[in-house]
Amino acid sequence: IYYNALEKLIRFQIEFGTQGIVICSSTGEGLLLTQEERIGIIKQTINISTIPVLVGCSSCSTTDAIDNIKIAQDLGADGVLVTAPYYVKPTQNGIIQHFETIVQSTDIPIVVYNIPSRVTVNLELDTLLHLSKLPNIVALKDSTTQFDILSMLHILAPTMPILSGDDATLPACLAHGASGTISAAANAYPKLIYNIVD
């Protein structure tokens, strides 16, 4: 891990108005890191950052996701980002059980990440509405183009913030109820992305 570059990137984000940092997730190649690398990145980011830090903790195994969350929480993360189990293609009920089990194991804020292009399953509206009622699920990051579902979620669960997860569809996502973004492009253009959302 190139820690000097990581520090520069974190400080660059803070300087240009980014309101939170996500590490060890998709753009950060979180699934390719060793546990030692993950811990090093989490420690350094939390040590440097003056804004909230969320850690990607997804796994195809609910137990492994919980283990990742416990490590992130013990190291001082402000929250975690978690997808449905990938590869195993769970049912909607299986997805609900996955998140219910996670919620029962921790009190850290959880951002649910819907990215069917990588996970192979989509979180349907009824599933999202159910998850929105769980105690420490605090937001949805969505990387789909199902704007009708986002609009309905925004109407039926207005206290559940929606965050765009795809730079190409950010304006459309904002138009359908999203209040922010977790952006890959913001790594290079934080001020531009901040201004679009603002």
Catalytic residue annotation: 113, 141
Residue 62 to residues 2, 50, 70, 94, 117, Cα–Cα distance (Å): 30, 30, 12, 10, 20
Identify any residues that bridge with 181 across adjacent strands, giving them in sequence order: 164
- 3-state SS assignment for residue 106: coil
- 3-state SS assignment for residue 56: strand
> And the tokens for 189?
């253009």
Strand segments (E) across the chain:
21-23, 53-56, 79-83, 110-114, 137-142, 162-164, 180-181
- Residues 178 and 70: their CA atoms lie apart, in Å, by 29
- 3-state SS assignment for residue 142: strand
Q: Are 140 and 114 in contact (CB under 8 A)?
A: yes
